Structure 1
Amino acid sequence: MYKKILCVDDDPITLMLCKKVIQKCEFSETIEIANNGEDALAYLESFSQKGITPTTDLPELLFLDLNMPVMGGWEFLDIITERRYNEIFPQLKVIVLSSTIDPKDIEKSKSYPMVLDFLSKPITREMLEELKNNNT
């Protein structure tokens, strides 16, 4: 079980479904949400500004939508890569959770070191079980 995850999506129904499935599967103790990449970035920046200690309760996994207003998933991934967030948050891994099925998007996601997988919406119990099994 993850201690904390962050779900980033602009659709409130997707966020609600994501939260319910995660809770039902006991996949994470805490589920935080952000409505777009900018909100997610601000959330992560708040940790780096406070100072990170071994007891800081950082998210370990981030479910990220690609197509969002304000700041989409690709822009978010570019910024956290550029700012070397993998060094600040080495435990943070990203699962792209998108409605797109474009093979180019799947390939592009593999170019980001923090991206573990690319999954199609909606999130399901089976997806979470597979993630648990592959990342334990």
Structure 2
Amino acid sequence: MLDLILCVDDDPITLMLCKKVIVKASFSNNIITAKNGEEALEYFNSILNKEENKLPELIFLDLNMPVMDGWEFLDSFSTDKYSEVNSTNVIILSSTIDPEDLEKSKKYPMVIDFLSKPITTDMLTYLNTKLS
């Protein structure tokens, strides 16, 4: 079981479902959420500034969000500024079926998988084997 997961999605229903499935599957002790990439980066900034001390072990990241989308988040998260924290594994969880998105995701070393929404307990079982 993971200690902390960050779910980044602009849809409150998706975030609620994500939390429910993760709790039901006993996949993580704690779940924090962000509505977009900018909020997620703010969380990592608070870790770098020593205001927070819990680094998520996994990020579920949507791609299509307002303010800062998933790609913009990954571009920022990949920079030297976040080198202390960007070893966190990222799972892209998106409704997109564009094969170019899948290819693009492979250029980010922290992205370990690209899965289709919605999150399911079977998905978490699969990820458990991949993460262990």
Relative to the length of structure 1, the TM-score reads 0.93
Unpaired runs of 5+ residues, structure 2, are none
Q: Could you tell me how far 1:135 is from its partner in structure 2?
A: 1.1
CA RMSD across the alignment: 1.4
Q: Separation in 2 of the partners of 1:75 and 1:66?
A: 9
State the match for 1:116 in structure 2: 112
Structure 1 position 75 matched with structure 2 position 72: yes
State the match for 1:130 in structure 2: 126
Percent identity between matched residues is 61
Unpaired runs of 5+ residues, structure 1, are none
- Quickly say closer, same or farther: Cα 1:81–1:90, change in 2 above 3 A: closer
SS of equivalent residue, structure 2 residue 49: helix
State the match for 2:4 in structure 1: 4
Identify which range, 1-10 or 89-98, moves more after superposition: 89-98
Q: Could you tell me how far 1:36 is from its partner in structure 2?
A: 0.4
Q: Could you tell me how far 1:90 is from its partner in structure 2?
A: 5.2
State how many pairs are aligned.
132
The runs of 4+ residues in structure 1 deviating greater than 6 Å are: none
Q: Could you tell me how far 1:84 is from its partner in structure 2?
A: 5.1
